[in-house]
Structure 1
Amino acid sequence: MTDAAWHSIVFGGETFAFQIERTARRKTVAISVGFDGVRVLAPPDLDDDHVLSIVRKKGAWLLRKQAAYRELGGQPVAKEFVSGETFHYLGRQYRLKLIPDETALTTRVAARGSTLVAPVPSNEHPSVQRSAVRSGLKRWYRAHANQHFPVRARMIAETLGIPTPTVTVVDQSKRWGSCDARGHIRLNWRLVMAPMPLVDYVIAHEACHVLEHNHSRRFWRSLETIMPDYEDRLRRLDRVGHKFIW
């Protein structure tokens, strides 16, 4: 990777700063957006003006991607998946405890009081153990998300006066939730780590999209009607959301 130069474009009132990174492995321009900003990869023989014109054409896409990352509220948290680490469930803190278990074929996490117990074979390499624990935690969280989210969605739908929407728990690192044109709601399993008022905010937000598929005034009025403090909940989610991304 050579010749990384800094550039910026302004689109929709937002400034995007990035490097054009030259690499012989690229035949076309590749643009990606992450928590660390915008990254642009380009072939060595493509001049800067050409690359910048391609980036500008992606301005609307960049805005959407940046908004999605901003929704999650900061940098993801680095986890080691070792005993003593703190994890959240419905806003409460739990301590992870690894238990050596030679009979464990997979790591099945269980909650015991304020502890998340994870059995792991003691003869496995630490990196293998950490991977198994992460997978076990993910399964545990997804199971509890599937338990809670549909119930909360039904309650919110009743308040909003709409049929209970179909709720699917999904694995996505860039959004808390979404609602498609059919009114089907998809919710990030990581959301179950947040306090229930914040879970309800995301579900209410997506449920209001069943009525309005955009962020019109009618949409915000509908949300405010069933959740007058939605702005406060959104600010709280912005402050703590990054803690649930790993």
Structure 2
Amino acid sequence: MTKEQIEYGSHTIEFELKYSDRKTLGVKILPDTSVYVTAPTDLPLCKIKENLAKKASWIIKQKTYFLNFDTTEVSYQIKSGYAVHYLGRQYKVMVQLAAENEVNYNGNLFLITVKNKEKAQAVFDQWLKEKAMTRITEIAKPIIRKFGESFFMPKEIFFQDMPKRWGSCTIKDKLIFNPKLIHTPKRCIEYVVMHELCHMIHKHHNDNFFKLLTQMMPDWEKRKAKLDGYL
């Protein structure tokens, strides 16, 4: 596999090129916006680039769609009187000095007790990340089971801080989720999980992908609209 690129107006489209015994040119846009091209072994590079130039508008449109699936920057400060979102609800923050570093929540309040108030942000961030991995996994399990009734199920899911992505499905069907999803409502998390599961069947956003997504989650558009407008 080699890396190539073409120019289209003000855009530079980079792509991974692989040759195979197929008879036609195949183009895939993955959720991370990377472009993969599979070409017949006897097709010259100049012809490959010529064909891609004809598809350039579509490629850019698909990449833009994925970029629109980006996260809104989630930022918060852990100080008494401030607020933070958790599973779609807003919680007030209270920081107190204590002998142990702990995070507890009750009603609409997050109580963070720390030995040093300067460490409150780090203590809460670590707690929230661990909580996110546990809670998002719990939310994902029934969605994955539903998907597995018709298709195969991933054995596990992974978490990674991604400044511009809520989730990702790699070319090897590894599902990765952003812990920051924990700030959003449960319905939004369920949508992101199903979205990435559908990418295990259809890697790029074509009619087949959206038909499958609609089949598996008929109200996905409402969920996506809520996610897009959140935070």
Structure 2 counterpart of 1:94 = 91
1:118 corresponds to 2:112: yes
Q: In structure 1, which of residues 175, 178, 200 is the aligned counterpart of residue 165 of structure 2? A: 175
Q: Confirm or deny that 1:139 pairs with 2:126.
A: yes
Cα distance, 1:178 vs structure 2: 0.3
The match for 1:11 is: 11
The residue number in structure 1 matching 2:37 is: none
Partner of 1:50: none
How does the TM-score come out when normalised to structure 2? 0.66
- Whole-angstrom distance in 1 between the partners of 2:152 and 2:86: 28
Cα offset for 1:117? 1.2
Q: Relative to 1, partners in 2 of residues 1:224 and 1:184: Cα closer, same or farther, differing over 3 Å?
A: same
Post-superposition offset of 1:90: 0.8
Call closer, same or farther: CA 1:73–1:148 in 2, change over 3 Å. closer
**Cα pair 1:224 1:230 within 8 Å, conserved:** yes
Cα distance change of structure 1 residues 172 and 133 upon mapping to structure 2, 3 Å threshold = farther
Structure-1-length-normalised TM-score: 0.62
Offset, 1:114: 1.8
Query: Paired residue for 1:55?
Result: none
Distance change (3 Å), C-alpha of 1:151 and 1:182: farther
- From the superposition, tell whether residues 135 and 195 of structure 1 become closer, same or farther in structure 2 (CA, over 3 Å): same
CA distance in 1, matches of 2:104, 2:80: 14
Q: Which residue of 1 aligns with 2:151?
A: 162
Count of aligned positions = 176
The question of whether the paired residues in 1 share the 8 Å contact of 2:159 and 2:177 is answered with yes
The reply to whether residue 212 of structure 1 matches residue 209 of structure 2 is no
CA RMSD of aligned residues (A): 2.9
Secondary structure of 1:212's match? coil
Gaps of 5+ in 2: 1-8, 13-55
Runs of 4 or more, structure 1, over 4 Å off, are: 59-69
